[in-house]
Amino acid sequence: MAQRAVWLISHEPGTPLCGTVRFSRRYPTVEKRARVFNGTSYVPIPEDGPFLKALLFELRLLDDDKDFVESRDSCSHINKTSVYGLLVGGGELWPVVAFLKNNMIYACVPLVEQTLSPRPPLISISGISQSFELLFGIQDFLHLGQKNDTELNTKLNQLPDLLLQACPFGTLLDANLQNSLDSINFASVTHPQKQPAWKVGTYKGKPQVSISITEKVKSMQYDKQDIADTWQVVGAVTCKCDLEGIMPNVTISLSLPTNGSPLQDILVHPCVTSLDSAILTSSSIDAMDDSAFSGPYKFPFTPPLESFNLCYYTSQVPVPPILGFYQMKEEEIQVKITVNLKLHESVKNNFEFCEARIPFYNRGPITHVEYKVSFGQLEVFREKSLLIWIIGQKFPKSMEISLSGTVTFGAKSHEKQPFDEICIGGTAYLKLHFKILDYTLTGCYADQHSVQVFASGKPKINTHRKLISSDYYIWNSKAPAPITYGSLLLVRCHN
């Protein structure tokens, strides 16, 4: 018996969506089991937005929902069980246990350990009774002694930690969430704060928390039909917490926009105290599907005094930020080059800097350059046999730029000119260097208002993010063979 996902939705008539998802939790390990058990009848758990719309439609809670719908409103579909089927993503998600109480919709999807076609009788699905037990437990916890919205919000913020104890990995252990809360509070009372050995002192001063998200994008582009281009995003979240007290507690949430790329392969600092199982099981080895966890990614931790990397992650973004084409043709002591670069329309067109470096290895010094550039300016470093195309801070409105020209070389001098064991003959590359502030390729951000700090004083929250290039290569399309990242270990020593 296990749950695939849980939602709490506030019913808000008169608003555009008629409701808001106040809490959601998915269990990827259970979702993988559902995919195996259900086989061809498997329907993945949708994102919160589509689920909200489908559920409110099925419960007839949409403001403009006045028309008769045969599949929902006919006499043959009278529902007496609070178990529904929702039309999402071209399939029907079933069974969905849901009920409305005090303007709050409680919903979850239990695991069915068999195929769903034909539908098995409800009495044979043990997870349904567990779903009701879990939802009633959450309802009792939220409304026990509740006096105002502030107390409700406080309890909603406590739910992630409570479900880690009461329903780990989707399996209900204790429906009385107050027991879990009492055990957490008891542990904090019976074990007074003690200066840990790894923390050499305490901070005294104005409290503040600084969060910096840095994403590095790598790319290898060949412009060849038989060789696939590759790219990867690697992110790091760096924190500096200046907070008074022996063991202050901080919770940082990383969020993604609706079209953001899920974070994967997440590694956390040892100071992180607990993690959602969905964060731990998100891996780039698995194929991307609709069930991929897309946040929010919550990290509760007790920070050290110094700046530290809270977590690292990777992400499979759909396209590289800059698409490139590079062609180099040799003609005796000359080479003809053609470069086309295109900034993807989804990328922020505001760089701190952007330049393309075109090295020429195993040749003499540059003696003459004739070129035509559609945007930016070209700098020539003759002795280093290097061209630097300075693009600047913005691409033009067309998002496309080009460079073409002829480079003439003098006699070789092995003492001065750069030498490389890989870039021989037509094997050559262009390397992009750029940085974009206040932007990440995945869309990942840390919302200042979602940062929770349990320490004396109200801290100032500072958040920053940036995208920078790292090993961003565009290879000569006329090169005889592709170059891999491993081969570049020999190249980097020259850059």
- State the average pLDDT over residues 17-29: 90
Q: Which stretches within 113-170 are classed as H helix? A: 126-143, 149-166
- Please choose, from the candidates 271, 266, 269, the residue with its C-alpha nearest in 3D space to the C-alpha of residue 249: 271
Q: Which residues contact 49 (CB under 8 A, 6 or more apart)?
A: 258
Residue type present at position 298: K
Is-contact 203 244, C-beta < 8 A?
A: yes
CA 339 to chain centre: 32
In whole angstroms, give the CA distance from residue 66 to residue 20.
21
C-beta neighbour count of 81 within 10 angstroms = 9
Q: Which residues contact 84 (CB under 8 A, 6 or more apart)?
A: 55, 58, 59, 94, 95, 96, 98
Residue type present at position 488: L
Q: Is 471 exposed, middle or buried (0-12, 13-18, 19+ CB in 10 A)?
A: middle
Domains of the chain: 2-183 (3.30.450.60), 208-319+441-475 (2.60.40.1170), 322-437 (2.60.40.1170)
Q: Is the pLDDT of residue 253 over 50?
A: yes
Q: Out of 6-10, 57-61, 196-200, give the one with best mean pLDDT.
A: 6-10
This prediction's pTM: 0.63
- Quick one: tokens of 125? 């699905």
Name 464's bridge partners: 212
Is residue 10 helix, strand or coil?
strand
Q: State the pLDDT confidence band at 449, using cuts at 50, 70 and 90.
A: confident
What value does the CA radius of gyration of the chain take, rounded to a whole number of Å? Answer: 28
In whole angstroms, give the CA distance from residue 2 to residue 112.
9
pLDDT in tens, 258-317: 888 899 999 999 889 888 777 877 776 665 555 567 778 999 998 988 899 999 999 989
Q: Which residues contact 15 (CB under 8 A, 6 or more apart)?
A: none
In whole angstroms, give the CA distance from residue 2 to residue 31.
10
Mean of pLDDT over the chain: 86
